[in-house]
Amino acid sequence: MGARESLKKLIEKKQSEISDLEIKLREAKAYIQALQDSIKILPLDANDEQPELRPNSALAKTRDLIKNSGKPLHITEILQLLGKPNDKKNRVSISGTLSSYSRNHKIFIKTGPNTFGLIELGMNSNSGSHAGGDELDELPETFGKM
């Protein structure tokens, strides 16, 4: 019976180790998720890579229109300047794409209902700001340490 008892104790010890490792793994995954969520709420840095728009596409032309105007434009202004009819199909198409880019913090930013600006011009939106007010260039060395 000595061998059987020894094996049972080894099994219990190993199960305890596994349980401890599973807890550490869950904590590490939660930590990574918190860091990823933090990245999403931070504004983009100037050196963050922005996607390229196809030349002469409606989005590239829209970017140029907003850049030239120097201010956010409403979807009706954008359609008018693009020479497209102001109908539901065109409004939904352009505004949906611009909204998608703005949600992903890429090139465009939504500054109001159906109104879009450019991130590169520093056109702010209320939803893009963070509560602290002060920009952090670096995280404290103790960030994430327990």
pLDDT digits (tens, 9 = 90+) for 88-141: 998 999 999 999 998 888 889 999 999 999 988 876 544 343 333 444 556 677
Per-residue model confidence (pLDDT) at position 137: 59
Verify that 26 and 83 share a domain, yes or no: no
Q: Are 123 and 109 in contact (CB under 8 A)?
A: yes
Render pLDDT for 27-49 as a digit per residue (tens, 0 to 9).
Answer: 999 999 999 888 877 766 655 55
Mean of all residue pLDDT scores within the chain: 83
Statement to judge: residues 68 and 23 lie in one domain? no
**pLDDT on residue 41:** 78
Asked if the structure places residue 145 within a domain, the reply is no
Residues 65 and 124 in one domain: yes
User: Is 80 part of a structural domain of the chain?
Assistant: yes
Residues 62 and 38 in one domain: no
Same-domain pairing of 68 and 92:
yes
pLDDT value of position 40: 77
| Structural domains in the chain (count) | 2
Q: Are residues 63 and 26 located together in one domain of the fold? A: no
Tens digits of residue pLDDT in 74-90 = 999 999 999 999 999 98
Residue 75's nearest CA partner among 53, 51, 58, 54 is 58
Whether 109 is covered by a domain: the verdict is yes
Is 67 found in the same domain as 31? Answer: no
Q: Are residues 65 and 118 in the same domain?
A: yes
Global confidence as pTM: 0.51
> Residue 29 belongs to what domain range?
1-42
- Residue 77 in any domain: the answer is yes
- List Cβ neighbours of 97 (8 Å cut-off, separation of 6 or more): 58, 59
pLDDT at 142: 73
Mean pLDDT, range 53-69, rounded to an integer: 90
Residue 37 and residue 64 in one domain: no
